[in-house]
Structures are given as structure tokens and as C-alpha cells.
Amino acid sequence: MGALAAAIAMLVAHEGRKSGPGLSPQQAINLVNREDGVFVDLRDAAAFKQGHIVEARHIPMTKLQERSAELESFKDKPVVLVCKMGQQASTAGKQLRAAGFNQVYKMTGGMMEWSSLQLPTVSK
């Protein structure tokens, strides 16, 4: 039983490395500000319009592959992926890392966590 738990833990850690480390909203803010990075909001248009992080780029998860060129200037800067609760960001992180992005991060808890911390948002 212990070997199975160890194998599962190693698999989870390996998958996490492929998609990028997780950051709390505060860590994400600090990193983006300090290193001139970008927040990329992966949610659909309706959710984005209801409220998003100031200056976040909106690239819905379904369009990420075809629109990743829009992030070309951030290949060597922090790219923080944001979705509703943090799950879609893992998949997106793997895609961007495979496309040569060096500093890809997931914001843990997504916009649900951001909102619960009462951090500022803008709506369009």
C-alpha cells in the first residue's frame, strides 16, 4: 500500500512540474509586478466580462493553441494562468511549456480564490 501511495505522489508531482508551479493570488501579483509578467485569463467571455484581474489578457482555454502567438513577448517572463478554480490552468500550462514558454505558473484557486480574498477586479 505504501508503494502505491508513493507512486501516486510521484506522478502528481511530475504532472505538476510539466504544467508549472502553483502560486497564491498574492504570490502571483508580486511575481507579475516584479518581473513584468502577465495574467492570462482562460475563462469564457461571459465570465471574463463579469470580472477579471486588471490588465489580464483574455485568451479562452478553447482558443489558447491558436492564440498563443499573442503571448510571444512573454516567452521569458512570468505567465500566470487563471481560470475559475485552478483546474484548466494545468492543461494550459502544459500547452504553453510545450510551446517554449519558460516561466508558466498556475494561480491556485483561480478567480474563486481571488474573489474570496476580495482582490480588485474590473468588468467589461
Would residue 124 count as lying in a domain? Answer: no
- Residues acting as catalytic residues: 83
Would residue 87 count as lying in a domain? Answer: yes
Would residue 85 count as lying in a domain? Answer: yes
Which residues on adjacent β-strands are paired with residue 103?
78
User: Using one digit for the tens of pLDDT, what is the confidence trace for 86-101?
Assistant: 888 999 999 999 999 9
- 70-81 average pLDDT score: 97
Would residue 121 count as lying in a domain? Answer: no
Would residue 31 count as lying in a domain? Answer: yes
- Sequence-distant (6+) residues with CB within 8 A of 41 are 48, 52, 53, 56, 57, 58, 59, 82, 83, 111
* Mean pLDDT across the chain: 89
User: Using one digit for the tens of pLDDT, what is the confidence trace for 11-41?
Assistant: 445 444 567 899 999 999 999 999 999 999 9
Of 19, 9, 46, nearest to 124 by C-alpha is: 46
Would residue 37 count as lying in a domain? Answer: yes
What is residue 14's predicted lDDT score, i.e. its pLDDT?
A: 47
Please state the domain count of the chain: 1
Residue 11 lies in domain? 2-116
- 96-116 average pLDDT score: 96
What is residue 16's predicted lDDT score, i.e. its pLDDT?
A: 47
pTM: 0.85
